[in-house]
Amino acid sequence: MNNKVLWGLQILTALAFGGAGGMKLATPAEQLRANPQMAWSTEFADAEIKAIGAAEVLGAVGLIVPVATGIAPVLTPLAGAGLGVMMGGAAYTHARRGESPVAPAVLGVLALASGLMRWRQRQTRDVAPA
């Protein structure tokens, strides 16, 4: 895959997770629960909602910073995998509630894809002849 396309995918995915996580961190839990789009939050404690938001923000940072700086770039695929697992849980929660699991499933696939493609790019580079 073209490196520019991969960067675009990573940046868009990171923006989505950073925005969603930041909103969960910045918005009081009572206000989140009052939003019909966040009805799932009624099943979680305040601290759990904040932890989900923090994990999303950290995952977003992990999709970009390690590979961009060259410092521990192995963390980028791990961030993608972690976000993918989180979105699997989110899709399950929405489906269990009778809500559409499509949005978290799509975000989970994007996170996994960007992490796995970055891992594959790293593996190819590591075994390429000099």
* Percent of residues, the chain, with pLDDT higher than 70: 92
Q: Which residues contact 5 (CB under 8 A, 6 or more apart)?
A: none
Give residue 127's pLDDT band: very low, low, confident or very high (50, 70, 90).
very low
**pLDDT (tens digit per residue) in 54-93:** 999 999 999 999 989 999 988 988 998 899 999 999 999 9
Query: Which pTM value belongs to this model?
Result: 0.86
Encoded amino acid at 125, one letter: R
Q: Is pLDDT at 115 greater than 70 in this prediction?
A: yes
Read off the pLDDT of each residue in 88-100 and give the average, rounded to a whole number.
Answer: 91
**pLDDT (tens digit per residue) in 35-52:** 998 999 999 999 999 999
Tokens standing for residue 120: 């594959």
Q: Is 108 left (phi over 0), alpha (psi -120 to 50) or beta?
A: alpha
Whole-number mean pLDDT of the chain? 88
Helix (H, G, I), strand (E, B) or coil at 25: helix
